[in-house]
Amino acid sequence: MTVALIVLTAGTSWAGDKGQGEPEVTTLEPPKLAWTEDIQPTQVMAGETVLIRIPVVIGRELHIQANPASDEFLVPLEVTFESTGDLAFGDPAYPEADAFLIEGAAEPLATYHGAIEVAVPVTPAATATPGSRQVTARLRYQACDASRCYVPADQSFTLTVVVPPPCAR
């Protein structure tokens, strides 16, 4: 089930090694995510599992760090959910990364660009009470352009998970 379409558009940034052995740091705002369509509710029976699919569109000329990231100092894309008590969220499935060589870097970075999708399993407890639940999700990411990587950014969004009554199958 599709939940949201997220667009990342073109912020402290890493601008590559300028010959002094340390990356240059500038104070630009990181790119933000923007919603381009309504978030559709996800329906799942108590005790069963469905995938919440989160499509992300990364703006032209930008890349975001893959999960896992190429280096321990880079921040990978990460999707997390606040606990709701009777909903369990599994580990997100991130897409395969592409190699991207940033200006001044010796090695390519594992990144995402264009349109990607992250799938997250959700399972209501077998004893979950029927009804709607508002769930807050957070995307943490670090974007780069051809010459620099921006400071990591966080963006939250809300989605609805509906647990129908048992006879609603």
Q: Is residue 38 predicted with pLDDT exceeding 80?
A: no
Measured over the CA atoms of residue 70, residue 93, residue 82 and residue 144, the dihedral's sign is positive
pLDDT at 102 over 80: yes
- The span from the CA of 79 to the CA of 81, in Å, is 7
pLDDT (average), residues 36-52: 82
- pLDDT (0 to 100) of residue 39: 61
**CA pair distance 14, 53, nearest whole angstrom:** 31
> For the segment 137-147, what is each residue's pLDDT rounded down to a tens digit?
999 999 999 99
pLDDT of residue 14: 40
For residues 157 and 23, the model is more confident at: 157
C-alpha dihedral sign at 96, 67, 111, 102 = negative
Judge whether residue 159 has pLDDT over 90: no
CA angle 14/15/16 to nearest 5° reads 100
> pTM for the full model?
0.77
Q: In this predicted model, what pLDDT tens digit does every residue of 107-130 receive, in sequence order? A: 999 999 988 889 999 999 999 999
Rounded to whole angstroms, how far apart are CA atoms 98 and 63?
9
What percent of the chain shows pLDDT beyond 90?
52
> Mean pLDDT in the chain?
81
Amino acid at 101: L
Q: Are strands 149-150 and 13-17 parallel, antiparallel or unpaired?
A: antiparallel
Q: Answer for the pair 66, 76: CB distance below 8 angstroms, yes or no.
A: yes
What domains are there in the chain, each with its CATH number?
6-168 (2.60.40.1250)
pLDDT of residue 9: 47
Reported as type and span, the H/E element at residue 13 is strand 13-17
Distance from C-alpha of 137 to C-alpha of 157, rounded to nearest angstrom: 5
The pLDDT, as a whole number, for residue 61 is 87
pLDDT tens digits for range 66-88: 999 999 999 999 999 997 889 99
What integer pLDDT is reported at residue 33 of this predicted model? 57
pLDDT > 90? residue 16: no
Of the candidates 54, 52, 53, 56, the one whose C-alpha atom is nearest the C-alpha of residue 31 is: 56
Provide the pLDDT for residue 49: 96
